[in-house]
Amino acid sequence: MKRLAILLLAGAFLAACSNDDKSCAVVRDCPSTQRCLNGKCVDPGGQPPSALGEACGSTVDCASGLTCQTPASGFVGGFCTASCSQPGDCPGSSCTAVGSTSFCMPACTADPQCRQGYGCCASLGNVCVPLAACTSPACTRPVVASALPSGQVQQFGTHKVGDTITFDVPPGTGSLTIVHQAVLATLNVVYQNQVIDNSAVPLSILQPDGGKVYDDLTFNPQSSADGGTDSSGIYAFYGGLTPSTAAFTIPNTTGSLDGGVPSGNWKFVVNDYANECLSLGCNDGGSAENTYDVQVVTRQAAGATLDAAFYIVTTSFSEANAGTNATVQRMVGAFKNIYAQAGITANVVFHDVSATDKARFGTHISATATGPCDEFGQLFTLSGAHPGNTMNLFLVDAITDNSGSGGVIVGIDGTIPGPSSYNGTVASGAVVSAADLFGGTCGVGFSLNCGADRTAYIAAHETGHFLGLFHTTELQGSDFDPIADTAKCPCIPCASATDRPNCLSPNASSPVMSASRCVSGGCGGGDNLMFWILDSGISVGNISPQQAQVMRLNPLIH
Amino acid sequence: MIALLLAALIAAPRPPKGAEPQAPAPAQQLSDEELRERVETYLGTIDRPVSQERWKALGPQAAPILEAVIGSSSELPTRRAMAVDGLTAVSPDRAAQMVGNLARDEKQPTVVRVAAMHGAMRVYPSARVISELRPVLRSAKSPGLRAEAADLISRKQGGCAEVREQLGREKAEHKPAFDRAMKRCGG
């Protein structure tokens, strides 16, 4: 025992020595929690007080006029600074947007001049900023408030990844939605040499009885070309691709529709992929410092009304004539009819956007560059001009893959589900091609050969994603939605005889499930609104009762 | 989780968006009927881009079907644009005979012109991309199309000079559309 005590004392002494004696030439030589003072790394709190950009534990550690931005706000090791609104507010430094607030930040010419955890950010004008804040000046990632009544929204403020949040679910709750909004969060991680958007997703979710209903480290529903794997029994399903702004809604599976949302104290852990990288071993991008604004939205019984706002990011028509243009009104009618079959009444309004935004976004949306700072994410922030609980549908001239491999598509959703009631974020809506709107052949009834009907169908499909629905059957016939009452079309029984032997092939010759092969018996779903393609002879926009239930429990539907 | 997402991106197309990385595909032996069905399916995609590898796997026998779609005035513009995409993969030589003209033709729908510009990137050598798309960059009526041309030309050697020159001619309200190209050109 005596020997153990001596060892502990010696250890403590050595540790103290190593902290006190660490020499430094520049601040980057020191741990992020220390300053470099007279050639030594020292803790903040001494004299002279910490200057702009130096470490701090609280504001008393900082020089006069400066406040301490803490690690909980994304400033690793604490950071003495002052808020600002214009360049003149920061003599000798630069007024810089860091997340959604502007601060005085020290100038630099290279990374070694900045503390550990900070980088010299060229795109923000050569200033030391937290690594997560170094984005293009044109990139905004607004943190916004929900448009829902305060009784439905529990706000928890800014939290670091790894924090556990406890929230209350009242009796009679129909659905809950956990919303992450990046305050300071890195954009990408590199895993197995692939650059992946840094998605936010709860690390785990616990019900009031302590039962874990979601664990992102173990969630891995298997693909199944024979349709044998059924994900509908899973309580919570996550589809990925939710960078910066992320909504996680329960219920979104048959399992949770059946199980309901029990009242009491639930818990979840704030998390993103950068945080998971620390345990999974990524090539780059691991961080436990990212911060998110965290809110939880709850709602009671299913709703029946959808407010849709179409943003006109094309020159083919305007808000002024949308109400009287017969083609546009046909599109509105078709959109309403599709949702009527789910028991949802849709109200539609139109909004113009500026000529600058039309030029920037109308032909520029990429099918594959879907990060928050890409045109894709930035387009959705335009919805901030019209706060409300609306489905924001952005009508553009073209959507293509700008990576060089082609790939024209006609719609794309921000995230599944979308951040309902949070207009103005980088995920607040879906993009729909208006290229076909005024084309095609339009008769009396609904037809996908009619451009207006086709555009309505695409808008309805993307709205389905925003409301939490996945494709009933994906391209290869091996992945399916987590809903039990939608017909599926698995590859092995449903592909043609020629194709069937290739059902498990990972190459580009693997079969694709056409709508015409998915029309009856064990090979169905081709007529469903959420089938992966549209086919003018088969697609009619069917919505199953459980799909309707998922949509009507989303906070967007009132 | 990340591993799930990576697996999805590489193998199974679980998320409804994003590219579909593919292993090289052997040529497919499809009957005429199967070929037409496959082309129709690809032209019906909603939010999942059809990769060049998938188109290529159909082989050059798909070219006449796609050319018919591209040339039909009764076809919807997005189907024509997707057909342009497909033609550049199944028959680059035949695509090369039309994508330059389509890209420059003010009478074509915007989406067809955008697809043709992207197709030009795949079927022409660098210098020809610039010469074919320069008229779009300089004189397309749509500022968005000019910006898209700038984005593509900026990827080619010598393209940045063309883009900077055009940026100088653009109105202030249209300059933000050129940010992506200018970022590639070093601001």
State pLDDT tens for residues B62-101: 999 999 999 999 999 999 999 999 999 999 999 999 999 9
CB pairs under 8 A between A and B: 272
Alpha-carbon gap, residue A127 to A85, rounded angstroms: 16
Cβ proximity of A270 and A162 under 8 Å: yes
Q: Which residues of B touch A220 (CB under 8 A)?
A: 1, 3-4
Considering Cα of A124, then A130, then A133, then A134, what sign does the dihedral take? positive
Q: What is the C-alpha R_g of chain A?
A: 26
Specify the pLDDT at position A137.
83
Q: How many residues does chain A have?
A: 558
Peptide bond into A48 cis (omega under 30): yes
3-state SS class at A189? strand
Chain A residue with minimum CA distance to B88: A406
The amino acid sitting at A102 is S
Task: Measure the CA–CA gap between A200 and A290, rounded to whole angstroms.
Answer: 10
Beta strands in A15-152 (DSSP E): 35-37, 40-42, 67-69, 79-81, 94-98, 101-105, 118-121, 127-130
pLDDT computed for residue A176 by the predictor: 98
pTM of the full predicted structure? 0.92
| Three-class SS state of A64 | coil
Contact A416 B16 (CB under 8 A): yes
Q: Count CB atoms within 10 A of the CB of residue A523.
A: 21
For the record, the structure tokens of A289 come out as 């410092």
Determine, for residues B1 and A478 on separate chains, whether the beta-carbon distance falls below 8 Å: no
A283 touches chain B (CB under 8 A): no
CB-CB: which of A364, A400, A451 is closest to B118?
A: A400
- CB-CB contact of A78 with A38 (8 Å): no
- Assess whether pLDDT exceeds 50 at residue B13: no
Question: What is the Cα–Cα distance from B25 to A207, expressed in whole angstroms?
Answer: 46
Residue A64 identity (one-letter amino acid): S
Pairing of strands A245-250, A35-37: unpaired
Closest-CA residue in chain A for B26?
A509
3-state secondary structure (DSSP) of residue A447: coil
- Which pLDDT value is given to residue B24? 55
Residue whose pair of structure tokens reads 């930035």 in the numeric block? A378
Secondary structure letter of residue A200 according to DSSP: B
Contact in structure between A102 and A126 (CB atoms under 8 Å): no
Distance in angstroms (rounded) separating the CA atoms of residues B140 and B182: 19
Rounded distance, CA B167 to CA B147, Å? 9
**Taking CB atoms and an 8 Å limit, are A240 and B88 in contact across chains?**
no
- d(C-alpha A268, C-alpha A253), whole Å: 19
Residues 6 or more apart whose CB falls under 8 angstroms from that of A101 comprise: A83
A227/A533 Cα distance (integer angstroms): 19
> How confident is the model at residue B1, as a pLDDT?
63
Question: How many angstroms away from the CA of B132 is the closest CA of chain A?
Answer: 17
Inter-chain residue contact B37 with A516, CB threshold 8 Å? yes
**Closest residue by Cα to residue A139 from A469, A432, A444, A375:** A375
Q: Give the helix ranges, DSSP H, for A119-272.
A: 254-259
Q: What pLDDT was estimated at residue B6?
A: 53
**Rounded Cα–Cα distance for residues A248 and A297 (Å):** 10
pLDDT in tens, chain A (558 residues): 334 344 334 444 334 344 456 899 999 999 999 999 999 999 999 999 999 999 999 999 999 999 999 988 889 999 999 999 988 899 889 999 888 789 999 999 999 999 998 999 988 889 999 988 888 888 999 999 999 999 999 999 999 999 999 999 999 999 999 999 999 999 999 998 888 999 999 999 999 999 999 999 998 888 899 888 889 999 999 998 899 999 999 999 999 999 999 999 999 999 999 999 999 888 888 999 999 999 999 999 999 999 999 999 999 999 999 999 999 999 999 999 999 999 999 999 999 999 999 999 999 899 888 999 999 999 999 999 999 999 999 999 999 987 767 689 999 999 999 999 999 999 999 999 999 999 999 999 999 999 999 999 999 999 999 999 999 999 999 999 999 999 999 999 999 888 888 898 877 778 999 999 999 889 999 999 999 999 999 999 999 999 999 999 999 999
If one counts every other C-beta atom within 10 angstroms of the C-beta of residue A57, the result is 17
Nearest to A404 by CA among B176, B147, B85, B16: B85
DSSP annotation of A110 reads S
Q: Which residues of A touch B176 (CB under 8 A)?
A: 138, 356, 359-360
Which residues on adjacent β-strands are paired with residue A365?
Answer: A399
Helical packing angle, A273-280 and B2-10, nearest 10°: 90
pLDDT for residue B10 is more than 90: no
Instruction: Work out the minimum CA distance from A212 to partner chain B, whole angstroms.
Output: 16
Kindly state whether A220 is in contact with chain B, defined as any CB-CB distance less than 8 angstroms: yes
Give chain A's largest Cα–Cα span.
Answer: 94
Q: Cβ–Cβ contacts within 10 Å for residue A171, how many?
A: 8
Under DSSP, the state recorded for A47 is: S
Task: Look at B14 and A191 and tell me if their CB atoms are within 8 Å.
Answer: no
The widest CA-to-CA distance across chain B, in whole angstroms, is: 54
d(CA A114, CA A75): 13
Residues of A in contact with B151 (CB under 8 A): 364, 402
What is the token pair recorded at B172?
């202030």
pLDDT over 60 at B16, yes or no: no
Kindly determine whether residue B147 and residue A364, on different chains, have CB atoms separated by under 8 Å. Answer: yes
Beta carbons within 10 angstroms of residue B21's beta carbon: 15
Q: Which residues of A touch B9 (CB under 8 A)?
A: 194, 196
Measure B104 CA to nearest chain A CA, in Å.
15
Contacts of A367 in chain B (CB under 8 A): 17-19, 47, 49
**Contact with chain B for residue A435, Cβ under 8 A:** yes
Evaluate whether A397 touches A433 at the Cβ level (below 8 Å). Answer: yes
- Chain A interface, best mutation among B1, B112, B123, by max A CB count within 10 A: B1
- Give the pLDDT confidence score for residue A21 in this predicted structure: 60
Give the pLDDT score at A402.
75
Asked if the Cβ–Cβ distance from B6 to A354 is below 8 Å, we say: no
Describe chain A by its helix, strand, coil percentages, rounded to 5: 25, 25, 50
Which segments of A272-311 does DSSP mark as H helices, in order? Answer: 273-280
Residue B79 backbone dihedrals phi, psi, to 5 degrees: -70, -40
Residue B2 pLDDT > 70, yes or no? no
- Yes or no: say if B153 and B137 are a contact pair by the CB < 8 Å rule: yes
Smallest Cα–Cα separation from A436: which of B101, B95, B136, B81? B81
The helix-helix angle for B126-139 and B110-123 (nearest 10°) equals 160
